[in-house]
Amino acid sequence: MTHFIDKIYSRIKGFLFTVRCPYCGKVIEPNKKCCDKCKKEFPKFPLVRYATGGYICTSPFPYDGIFRRAVLNFKFHNCGAYAELLSYEMVRAIKDVYSNKEFDIVTCVPMHKDTLKERGFNQAELLAQECAALLGMEYGNLLVKTKKNKTQHSIKAAERAKNVIGVYSPIDKNLIKGKRILIIDDIITTGSTLGECARILNKCKCGEICCCTLCTSLLL
């Protein structure tokens, strides 16, 4: 019955909304997550990196080509609706790399309130919420960004670790203590941002911390 309802919903959605491939912008069928051409460029296996502090991070895509274009459109060209389509591949990477792990809560790298006001949404939060829903897990905001620092992509790699120190704080330590946490962000480059978020969560005596991003920048 649930499958039948989902099919009906997809057909209705197709009549009401135009669905586009998040990687190239081509119109696709409502039940698809991307076009066939872009699908052929997907890596066969997830990419694995480590954030600062040794926290493992998995990503379905490299930050290059059609995947870089998808991220830029998602973040800067009012394509927040892409979150649902992009999150499916993140969940694939999560299930593959973390098949032997269990998480209590999914959270995201927070955005400063001024930046959030300018952009209108936190792309990491949208991805995290979609991933949590697909995984059947709880989503929660565990951290707040209290200081508006320089954007990481605007400074040299060697300066990024220092740039994020002291900008994040826990919202409620009781919500963090003992929890096994999956942190979501859009991109991992040096791993400084995810590493600092993990460090703050770890200070609140959480359980295991793992990370997932949509893309990983292989070359700094």
pLDDT score at 75: 87
Tokens representing residue 10 in the block: 């997809």
pLDDT score at 5: 45
pLDDT score at 136: 97
pLDDT score at 9: 43
pLDDT score at 2: 47
Q: Where are the beta strands (DSSP E) in the chain?
A: 19-20, 27-28, 47-51, 55-59, 61-62, 105-108, 143-145, 168-170, 181-188, 209-216
Cα–Cα distances in Å, from 83 out to 33, 73, 87, 119?
11, 11, 6, 15
Ranges in the chain annotated CATH 3.40.50.2020: 42-216
Distance between CA atoms of residues 164 and 28, nearest Å = 39
Residue whose token pair is 């190239």: 24
Phi, psi of 189 (to 5 degrees): -115, -80
Which segments of the chain have a pLDDT < 70? 1-17, 78, 154, 219-220
pLDDT score at 142: 98
**Architecture per CATH, 42-216:** 3-Layer(aba) Sandwich (3.40)
Distance between CA atoms of residues 185 and 131, nearest Å = 11
